[in-house]
């Protein structure tokens, strides 16, 4: 196989991978923006950046118990944002 076609195929592969990463990042940003607009409108994080929301809302330690009818999240009692988290969950349902 000529070196030119190998370079071209590698370039196309990396371009497709970059395009997929860009689409996933864009989708995550739109999803986080909708979460902020719909669920966090009355909380302290109504004007927070996506990174702050990710850090304070999504990166939490919890024990997940899955049964036939429900999914239970058991968070630590020392979680400082439990009331805002509960308000955001209530706004989703």
Query: Where do we find the tokens 């592969």?
Result: 13
Within 13 Å of residue 48, how many CA atoms lie on the same side as its CB? Answer: 20
Going by the DSSP 8-state scheme, the letter that residue 76 receives in this structure is -
The residue among 56, 40, 44, 48 whose CA lies nearest residue 88 is 40
d(CA 55, CA 48): 11
In three-state secondary structure terms, 62 is: strand
Domain residues of the chain, as ranges?
3-92
- Residues lower than pLDDT 50 in the chain: 1
Q: How high is the pLDDT of residue 35? A: 84
Whether pTM > 0.75 for this model: the answer is: no
Q: How high is the pLDDT of residue 23? A: 93
d(CA 46, CA 89): 15
């Amino acid at each position: 196989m000529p070196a030119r076609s190998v370079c071209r195929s590698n370039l196309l592969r990396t371009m497709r991978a970059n395009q997929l990463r860009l689409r996933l990042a864009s989708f995550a940003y739109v999803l986080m923006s909708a979460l902020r607009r719909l669920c966090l409108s009355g909380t302290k994080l109504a004007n927070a950046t996506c990174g702050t929301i990710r850090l304070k809302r999504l990166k939490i330690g919890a024990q997940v118990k899955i049964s036939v009818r429900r999914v239970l999240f058991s968070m630590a009692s020392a979680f400082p944002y439990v009331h805002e988290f509960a308000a955001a969950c209530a706004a989703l349902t």
